[in-house]
Homo-oligomer: A and B are copies of this chain.
């Protein structure tokens, strides 16, 4: 951390900061500038609270120098993490595709979707049994019945099941039925839940919050890893900006940045990222070209009858078309698909 003094800070004020640093058992490095003095701090193990210094007289600002994440960091583990789920995998050279409906609605709907996405090359089936909805009056998911249908679809197709856990109460049940647990964007900083996921023996697909910085996103993953679960995939799904023609702004910048900072696999969700059915394939291609390890795509046997997200769900033949396009890009970049 760097403590920047005001231009007119007195020597006594500078000394007081230095004394406080030393009292914390740390080392102070005063840097006398032309306009002002800055004081570097070294010797701390974790991040320092800026407020320790910002309210001392004469202090203008405190600047954090090191990144606060550790276990998720490539500095700590240089090799890519690969998550194996049976023969399916997230991370590594091959690109994986997770596909399926937004919500599990019925046995017929789910099986038709599962068979369709399997036929076109998906290895994971997505489907929500517990649905976070902005309004309490919208369809909230089938609950355990939905989980059972997902397990049935797994049996029927061999696809691995990815489903969202919304609440610690449902965690044990989701662990029982699912292969990968998804944490939704709105729960990315539900720290109590994140801690519990640390004790779970299933991989986690952690979605970035719509207003989470990349740093906060990595710190949310750090909560899970530091509580004992190292099987975490990071999912960029669009951030909230002023642009309103698209549902979110898919932040593909995050893909190379995350890959550079962290060893965890990076998944991209173009369905939520743009929110417009006809443009999902373009963003799926772009995500792979940017270096994503996996895609998650909403597919519905009949999007115009979907109970949720119909405007961004692909019909099965459209998904087949998307897969063909993505395959072309993946092959060109020498990524098995």
Binds B, one of A80-88, A92-100, A114-122, A309-317: A309-317
| A153 at interface by CB-CB < 8 Å | no
| A52 at interface by CB-CB < 8 Å | yes
How extensive is the interface on chain A, given as a class?
35 or more
The CA of A211 and the CA of B20, in the complex, are separated in Å by: 36
Q: Is the CB of B273 within 8 A of A253?
A: yes
Residues on B with C-beta less than 8 A from A107 are none
Residues on B with C-beta less than 8 A from A170 are 192
Near B by CB (< 8 A), chain A positions 268-313 give 273-274, 276-279, 282-283, 285-291, 303-313
The 8 A CB mask of A33-57 against B (1 = contact, 0 = none) is: 1111010101111110111111110
Known: A29-B29, A213-B243, A303-B55. A252 touches B286 (CB 8 A): yes
Q: Is the CB of B40 within 8 A of A311?
A: no
Near B by CB (< 8 A), chain A positions 88-143 give 130, 132-138
Please give the residue numbers on chain A whose beta carbons come within 8 Å of chain B beta carbons, in ascending order: 2, 4, 6-8, 20, 29, 31-36, 38, 40, 42-47, 49-56, 62-63, 65-66, 68-70, 75, 130, 132-138, 166-170, 186-187, 189-193, 195, 209-211, 213-216, 219, 222-223, 226-227, 239-246, 249-257, 260, 273-274, 276-279, 282-283, 285-291, 303-313, 325, 328-329, 331-333
